[in-house]
Amino acid sequence: MFCPKCGNQMDEGSKFCPKCGNQMGSAQTVAVDDSSGLGILIPRNTLALWAYYLGIFSLLCGITAIPALITGILGLRYAKQHPEARGAIHAWVGIIIGGIALLLFLFILIISILHG
Ligand SMILES: [Zn+2]
C-alpha cells in the first residue's frame, strides 16, 4: 500500500506512514475551498462611466474634454479586456462628445486669441 499523503510505499496494515507520519484509516478529506462560480463580482467599467460624465460636462466646461478622452480610451480598452464589464457605449460617448467639446474649446480659444 501507499501513503495517500506522500505516496511512500509502506507495509500493509501500517497505522502510520514512516516517512511523513500520516495516520492511516483516518478520513483524508481535504476541505477544498470551492469558491469558483460563487460570488463573482462583475467588474464595472467605471472608466467608461467617467468618460461619459466628463464628456457631457465638457460641453458646459470645455476643460473636462481632455480627461473625458483619456478615460474614454482607457474605458474602451477595459471593455475589450473585460466584455462582461460592458461600458463600451459609455466610453464611445465620452470620446465623441469629449472630442467635439475639445474641438469647440480649441476653436473658441483660437478665436479669442485672434480677437485678442
Ligand atoms: Zn506518508
Instruction: Write the pLDDT tens digit of every residue in 3-41.
Output: 888 988 888 878 888 889 888 765 444 444 444 443 445
Does the residue 19 lie in any domain? Answer: yes
Query: How far is Cα 59 from Cα 98, in angstroms, rounded to an integer?
Result: 8
**pLDDT value of position 43:** 62
Cα(10) to ligand 1 centroid in Å equals 8
The most distant pair of C-alpha atoms in the chain lies apart, rounded to whole Å, by 100
Does the residue 35 lie in any domain? Answer: no
**pLDDT value of position 53:** 94
Does the residue 37 lie in any domain? Answer: no
Contact of 94 with 58, CB cutoff 8 Å: no
The parent domain of residue 25 ranges over 1-29
Does the residue 9 lie in any domain? Answer: yes
**pLDDT value of position 1:** 83
Q: Which residue has the higher pLDDT, 63 or 94?
A: 94
User: Do residues 109 and 82 share a domain?
Assistant: yes
Query: How many domains does the structure of the chain reveal?
Result: 2
Question: Which residues hold their Cβ within 5 A of ligand 1, which is an ion?
Answer: 3, 5-6, 8, 17, 19-20, 22
Cα(29) to ligand 1 centroid in Å equals 15
User: Do residues 53 and 109 share a domain?
Assistant: yes
On the CB side of 112, how many CA atoms lie within 13 Å of its CA? Answer: 6
Q: Which residue has the higher pLDDT, 30 or 99?
A: 99
The Cβ of residue 17 has, within 10 Å, a number of other Cβ atoms equal to 20
How confident is the model over 55-76, as a mean pLDDT?
Answer: 91
